[in-house]
């Protein structure tokens, strides 16, 4: 649970490093941020330059804390991709360009403070469960729906990482055996249908002149008379997910069909999650959750339709926005500190190895 022994002036230097930007903060043990800032990741510069920026930003934050009368007690880092929290190594992270980067050790050496490295979605779940929309729920399933779909199960403030650190990969639950291909190599995964990226991609494919080649179009053809929207270059959705949502809300048939398919698939995935985990609250985050009632109203109904003897969970939007990863990185660092260091950590999020290398993209904080 949360680090309770802190003094009021204690803060954690926290950085959530994504493919496009870093969210940074000085976070008190109670989870309040006394300062926040953002920096571009600019991953195109290469991993060494990104690492240098992370360390520079972290050091500057520690200086800023001291100048403001605070005492930095730890560094909390979160990155996407494959994260070995026990060793503090960013094993593989496509968007950031990391491969076997010992970020924890680098941060400890540079700042002279204990550091912890967590996985972005799992620490985000930790923050939502302790401080955000899942607060007081006890049992929480956090699902981030953005470029991909990933989740984490938090029980009494602790995120379960699984035996191999790969728990919560709800995006790769099979929901449509004859569905579109997924980045993981299989077909019909939840992520291939209901992620924000999949919604835009499917809309583009189905509205393309050759969209009839797509089996999903054939399946939905009866509901799609005269659908013929212009698209961009092959593989490049010409219409954003937000625009698909807007067109669906405006009554456009194709957009409405794609949106409903995504909602139905998400309900299938969440029903599976609820059957397995029996949580009190499901917190939906990521870009798609910003669609608000257009998503939550039909999704709650579709989920209810699928539950028989299972108790219906509260289905709520995330409350911390894109700050969740940063706050969670701080909570994770305090957990590790409180447990006496990485080797003794049993309460933190993302304790061992996450396996997300199959994702086509792993930055889930992008806007809808």
Contact positions vs Zn ion (CB under 5 A): 172, 182, 184, 189
Q: Output the CA torsion 31→110→121→334 (10° steps).
A: -40
Burial zone of 309 (CB within 10 Å; 0-12 exposed, 13-18 middle, 19+ buried): exposed
Output 200 or 333, the one with its CB closest to Zn ion.
200
Give ∠ CA 22-25-26 in degrees, rounded to 5: 155
Output 181 or 292, the one with its CB closest to Zn ion.
181
Burial zone of 166 (CB within 10 Å; 0-12 exposed, 13-18 middle, 19+ buried): middle
Sign of torsion, CA 110 111 117 119? Answer: negative
Other C-beta atoms closer than 10 Å to the C-beta of 64 total 17
Output 148 or 350, the one with its CB closest to Zn ion.
148
Output 26 or 190, the one with its CB closest to Zn ion.
190
Q: Closest approach of Cβ 362 to Zn ion, in Å?
A: 13
Output 202 or 300, the one with its CB closest to Zn ion.
202
Residues 362 and 81 sit within 8 Å (Cβ to Cβ):
yes
Q: In 80-148, which ranges are E strands?
A: 82-84, 89-93, 98-101, 115-119, 139-145
First to last CA, the chain: 32
Q: Closest approach of Cβ 4 to Zn ion, in Å?
A: 39
Q: Closest approach of Cβ 158 to Zn ion, in Å?
A: 27
Query: What does residue 259 show for φ and ψ, rounded to 5 degrees?
Result: -65, -45
Output 29 or 162, the one with its CB closest to Zn ion.
162
Q: Closest approach of Cβ 175 to Zn ion, in Å?
A: 10
Q: Closest approach of Cβ 103 to Zn ion, in Å?
A: 27
Query: What does residue 182 show for φ and ψ, rounded to 5 degrees?
Result: -105, 155
Output 157 or 179, the one with its CB closest to Zn ion.
179
Q: Closest approach of Cβ 174 to Zn ion, in Å?
A: 8
Q: Closest approach of Cβ 184 to Zn ion, in Å?
A: 3
Other C-beta atoms closer than 10 Å to the C-beta of 221 total 14
Output 167 or 319, the one with its CB closest to Zn ion.
167
Q: Closest approach of Cβ 148 to Zn ion, in Å?
A: 9
Nearest C-alpha neighbor of 266 from the set 307, 226, 302, 309: 302
């Amino acid at each position: 649970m949360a680090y309770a022994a802190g003094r009021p002036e204690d803060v954690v230097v926290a950085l959530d490093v994504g493919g496009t930007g870093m969210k940074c903060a000085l976070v008190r043990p109670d989870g309040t941020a006394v300062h926040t800032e953002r920096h571009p990741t600019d991953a195109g510069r290469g991993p060494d330059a990104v690492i240098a920026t992370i360390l520079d930003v972290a050091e500057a934050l520690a200086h800023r804390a001291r100048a403001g009368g605070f005492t930095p007690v730890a560094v909390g880092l979160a990155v996407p991709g494959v994260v070995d929290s026990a060793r503090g190594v960013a094993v593989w992270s496509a968007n950031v360009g990391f491969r076997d980067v010992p970020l924890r050790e680098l941060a400890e050496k540079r700042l002279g403070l204990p550091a912890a490295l967590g996985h972005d979605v799992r620490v985000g779940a930790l923050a939502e469960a302790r401080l955000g929309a899942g607060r007081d729920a006890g049992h929480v399933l956090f699902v981030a729906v953005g470029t991909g779909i990933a989740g984490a199960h938090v029980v009494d403030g602790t995120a379960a990482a699984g035996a191999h650190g790969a728990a919560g990969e709800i995006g790769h639950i099979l929901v449509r055996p004859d569905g579109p291909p997924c980045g993981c190599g299989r077909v019909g995964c939840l992520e291939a249908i209901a992620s924000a990226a999949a919604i835009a991609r499917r809309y583009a494919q189905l509205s393309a002149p050759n969209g009839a080649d797509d089996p999903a179009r054939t399946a939905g053809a009866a509901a799609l008379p005269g659908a013929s929207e212009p698209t961009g270059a092959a593989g490049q959705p010409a219409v954003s997910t937000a625009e698909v949502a807007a067109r669906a809300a405006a009554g456009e048939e194709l957009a409405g069909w794609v949106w409903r398919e995504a909602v139905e698939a998400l309900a299938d995935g969440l029903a599976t999650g609820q059957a397995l985990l029996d949580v009190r609250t499901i917190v939906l985050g990521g870009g798609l959750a910003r669609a608000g009632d257009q998503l939550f109203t039909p999704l709650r109904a579709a989920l209810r339709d699928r539950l028989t003897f299972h108790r219906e969970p509260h289905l709520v939007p995330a409350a911390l926005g894109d700050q969740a990863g940063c706050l969670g990185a701080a909570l994770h660092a305090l957990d590790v500190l409180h447990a006496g260091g990485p080797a003794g950590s049993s309460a933190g999020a993302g304790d061992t190895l996450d396996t997300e290398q199959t994702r086509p993209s792993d930055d889930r904080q992008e806007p809808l």
